[in-house]
Amino acid sequence: MTHLSESRFKYVRPIKVVFRDIDGMRHVNHAQYLTYAESVRNEYWQHVTGIEDVGDFDFVLAELTARYHSPAHLGDELVVGVRITEVRRSSWLMEHEIKNALTSALVAEVFTAAVMFDAKTGKSMPLSETRRKQIEAFEGRSLTVLTSKSKTIG
């Protein structure tokens, strides 16, 4: 089984392509890759933050881009890696990589921007120092990027 680079992706999960994932072209439907990314992204967030109940999630997606490189088919074993690449005042960027576990072929890449969200007020909120530290401790490096809206982080 192929493993994604340990230095690049610290959170990876295998996924097997099942019948419901394929379309009339007999390959994985393009939208299914977004579901793979979502599943692994949510597991990552639970792992990094310790949140157990999805009702306690404190972010929403603001943007998503996908690049498709090669098809996956029924029965293929895939490996999905996810990592946060940049942390801002109230948001962060994530990279998801989906590879064929047998051939190492790059199947798809998904890039997302997530925003911290207060469900009670229905508005974005700043990323807490606790969340920032959890993310950077897991990823093993500073990811904070100061933007024009950011304050100096001590």
The pLDDT assigned to 151 comes to 47
The pLDDT assigned to 144 comes to 85
Nearest to 45 by CA among 32, 34, 56: 56
List, in order, residues 6 or more apart from 93 with CB less than 8 Å away: 84, 85, 86, 111, 112, 113, 114
Domain 11-139: which topology? Answer: Thiol Ester Dehydrase; Chain A (3.10.129)
Give the C-alpha separation, 53 to 59, whole Å.
Answer: 13
Structure token digits, residue 33: 């890759």
19-55 pLDDT per residue, tens: 999 999 999 999 999 999 999 999 999 999 999 998 8
Kindly tell me the burial class for residue 72, based on how many C-beta atoms sit within 10 Å of its own C-beta (0-12, 13-18, 19 or more): buried
Letter string b/e over residues 138-152, b meaning 16 or more CB atoms within 10 A of that residue's CB:
bbeeebbeeeeeeee
Give residue limits of the domains in the chain.
11-139
The average confidence (pLDDT) of the chain is 91
71-83 pLDDT per residue, tens: 999 999 999 999 9
Indicate if the pLDDT at residue 105 is higher than 80: yes
